[in-house]
Structure 1
Amino acid sequence: MKKKLAKQTGSLFKNMTDAIGKMNEKAISDNVKRYVQMIHQSIEIEKEKEMLYMELNEEEKLEAEYLLKDLFQPELPEFMPVSEVAQMLGVTPQMVRRYCTEGKIFAKQRLENSGQWLIPVEQFVTRPEFFKYLKEKEINKNKSIKMAKMMIESFNT
């Protein structure tokens, strides 16, 4: 898996480096150049973050989980729904339920044999996918707020 990730990010890095080189040859605004460079840097940070996560042992993951939980506590919900865990992990909701049943994901059922699970968020805060999940949640929240404002404005006119 590490080799596959390294190969994918290596080719992506080469493509980005080529694009930045071409960008310097063309008449492109400074804002566009800064934006593309920022994207390039964020990809590099994501790659480094994933590599560091893979190098953590279980004790270090628990320590990071504890620190990150304290850091993000005011912003984090206590539990995640099965559908969001599935989306974050890239599996089906049925697979998440199976992981819960097997103990691969720490969770408890709301009611015995109900099929509804309470999945604590804290177990995911050290995973690289979690921050992508948080970004998507923030984007969706902002879109919802924007839509609500537009609806209110349309009612007021």
Structure 2
Amino acid sequence: MINMPDVLSYVTLPDATERAFASKDARKLAKIRLLQRALDLEAKIATRGLSDTDIKDIEDAIQALDVEPFIEREEAEQPIPEFLTVRDVSLITGLAPQVVRRHLQNGKYEGFQNAGENTTWNVYPTQFLTHPNWQKFLKEKDKGFEHSKQVANLALELLELEPPAEANDAVK
């Protein structure tokens, strides 16, 4: 399967273009547009040695294909958290939490602190959506959430049980 974030990780923008766009989404769209232009040029070169019949057969065959099975869309199934913690970013990137904090302070990562310099960071997740460990992170986070739900349900079940008879006698 084609994983578009993996493909886009191979597309590099000139430094000036990279700096011109503040948001990760803008840089992503710029990479997509650059890739489209390069693919259009490659398509023109590839068609030079083909007959009109060959080109029509190729177009018909490609038109008949459904694109969705070729593209991984796991991120659409799992909700994106509103913010990430320093620990989350550390798990995604493999960097130590101190390094993540330094990157946040230096502006390499986008985030903010709620109540001043000595508080926790809220990190915008969109800048990590294309990171190779993003899906793994979401799965681990989901697994942890499911485990917490199981523990909470078990605690609720235990609370619904009547206390043992000996405990009732001690209360009287």
Structure 1 unmatched ranges of 5 or more: 1-44, 65-70
Percent identical residues: 27
* Cα distance in 2 for residues equivalent to 1:111 and 1:154: 39
1:136 corresponds to 2:140: yes
Structure number with the bigger relative contact order (C-alpha 8 A, sep ≥ 6) is 2
Deviates more, 1:72-81 or 1:53-62: 53-62
Contact residue 85 and residue 121 of structure 2 kept, 8 A: yes
Corresponding letter in the other structure for 1:122: T
Residues of 1 paired with 2:10 and 2:27: CA distance? 10
CA distance in 2, matches of 1:57, 1:123: 16
Unaligned runs of 5+ in 2: 19-25, 31-74, 162-172
- Mapped to 1, the partners of 2:122 and 2:160 lie a distance apart of 40
Which one-letter code corresponds to 1:63 in the other structure?
L
Deviations 1:37-81 (A, max 9, x none): xxxxxxxx69x77853541335796239xxxxxx64982222111
User: Larger deviation: 102-111 or 138-147?
Assistant: 102-111
Question: Offset at 1:97?
Answer: 0.5
Q: How does 1:23-62 map to 2 (within 5 A)?
A: 52-58=7-13, 62=28
Aligned length: 109
**1:49 and 1:128 in contact (8 A); partners too:** no
Higher helix share: 1
The 8 Å contact of residues 53 and 127 in structure 1, kept in 2 or not, is answered as no
How far did 1:99 drift? 0.6
Please tell me the residue identity of whatever aligns with 2:29: E
- Is 2:6–2:130's contact at 8 Å kept on the other side of the alignment? no
Amino acid at match of 1:149: N
In structure 1, what is the equivalent of residue 72 of structure 2? Answer: none
Taking structure 1 as the reference length, what is the TM-score of the superposition? 0.55
Say whether residues 1:63 and 2:18 are aligned partners. Answer: no
Aligned twin of 1:105:
109
CA 111–156 in structure 1, closer or farther in 2 if over 3 Å, else same: closer
Q: Partner letter of residue 144 of structure 1?
A: S
Normalised by the length of structure 2, the TM-score is 0.51
Partner Cα separation in structure 1 for residue 6 and residue 123 of structure 2: 26
Tell me which amino acid in the other structure corresponds to 2:100: V
SS at match of 1:146: helix
Q: Determine the structure 1 residue equivalent to 2:47.
A: none
